[in-house]
Amino acid sequence: MSEHVHTSVSNGTGFITLDRPKALNSLSLAMVRDITHALMEWRDDSAIAAVVIRSSSEKAFCAGGDIRFFYDAGRATPQGGSALVEDFFTEEYALNHLIHFYPKPYIALMDGVVMGGGMGVAQGGPGCRVRIVTERTKMAMPEVNIGLFPDVGGSYFLSRAPGKLGCYLGVTGVTVGAADALYAGLADHYAPAAAMEVLSAILESTAGAELAEAIAAFAEPFKGAAGDSRLAAERAAIDRHFGAGSVPAIIASLKTDDSAFAQKTLQVMATRSPLMMCVTHELIERGAALDVAGCLRMERTLVRHNFEDGEVIEGVRALVIDKDNAPQWKPAVLDEVDAAMVQRFFQPVWPDYAHPLRHLD
């Protein structure tokens, strides 16, 4: 294990603890490999009945992939390190697939910041997932803010959120809290931060085979305590505007609405990459018709095109490197994005037999 991932076993439960607090547990390639190694080792171990993934810090579960690494390696030649970017996304998406189909309860303590790649290691499939949020949870798929798109299976789980919530969350990249996460089907249980010590004691003392039921019983008294969902309150507007059929149509629809929600959404979208908002819209539309493996293969193709295009390099420069918050998006305005620019991101990079994720099913 690397210095940033710790594993242990107690009472038939395997524990994975992310411990890179200064970087909000941003995932490195070594961390992806460590998590994958532990899950593969425990998958067929009859002594392990459940898995818990958590953070050593209450600030963040996981803020996503290490975008500074993407910037440095993505600008390099393969000899200088950019091949590691290819490895990172291939192995990260394979890990997302492994988690989705994990044959044992997969319990994610989504306390604090849960964004991007953090969502990828928290969103197990319906057969295994137990996702817990607190009042400290700050959840987002904010990739359009850095010229990327919601990956790590986002095309799958966002496209399956109720109504147009997934399109709204992906195209705007906005951050939501616990009540919204529950409403959108991106979390299962709520627990107040003050009860996390009690929950930790339950996790340590309960037999792995009984853990999912024990967590449900623990969380039952807190049902409804997460507060009101803003997404629920704005659901009719979200479905109307984000069902408009394209990003330009969404903008046009929002401009007819003088509500605070519509005006705030327009302000947010004005800061995002016009091209990647359009790519994200198309991605979520396509993802609705694909299975998990198909979504991840599609995203892997898009990542290659995205780094070749350079939009993500510019986004990370503006947000993280120079911190001027003034990305020079190309195109700079939505009116200059045409269908051919968007469709180019979906063009095959490899023949099917050579796709890096060809073995996923």
Predicted confidence pLDDT, tens digits, the chain (361 residues): 779 999 999 999 999 999 999 999 999 999 999 999 999 999 999 999 999 999 999 999 999 998 888 888 878 877 777 888 999 999 999 999 999 999 999 999 999 999 999 999 999 999 999 999 999 999 999 999 999 999 999 999 999 999 999 999 999 999 999 999 999 999 999 999 999 999 999 999 999 999 999 999 999 999 989 999 999 999 999 999 999 999 999 999 999 999 999 999 999 999 999 999 999 999 999 999 999 999 999 999 999 999 888 899 999 999 889 999 999 999 999 999 999 999 999 999 999 999 999 999 9
CA–CA dist 82, 74 (Å, integer):
5
- Give the length of the chain: 361
Furthest-apart CA atoms within the chain: distance in Å: 59
210 C-beta neighbours (distance < 10 Å), count: 16
Closest C-alpha to 30, from 69, 72, 75, 79: 69
Given this model, what pLDDT does residue 72 score? 84
Q: What is the DSSP letter of 327?
A: -
Which residues are registered as beta bridge partners of 17?
6, 54
Residues serving a catalytic function are: 65, 117, 143, 151
237 C-beta neighbours (distance < 10 Å), count: 18
Q: In this structure, are residues 190 and 161 in contact, taking their beta carbons and an 8 Å threshold?
A: no
Given this model, what pLDDT does residue 68 score? 86
Q: Where does 186-287 have alpha helices with state H?
A: 196-205, 211-219, 230-233, 235-242, 247-255, 260-269, 274-287
CA–CA dist 99, 97 (Å, integer):
5
- pTM confidence score: 0.95
* Strands laid side by side in the 129-133 sheet: 5-10, 13-18, 50-55, 106-110, 129-133, 189-190
**CATH fold of 5-354:** 2-enoyl-CoA Hydratase; Chain A, domain 1 (3.90.226)
Q: Where does the chain have alpha helices with state H?
A: 29-43, 67-74, 82-100, 117-120, 154-157, 165-172, 178-183, 196-205, 211-219, 230-233, 235-242, 247-255, 260-269, 274-287, 292-309, 311-316, 339-344
Tokens of 288: 């609705």
81 C-beta neighbours (distance < 10 Å), count: 14
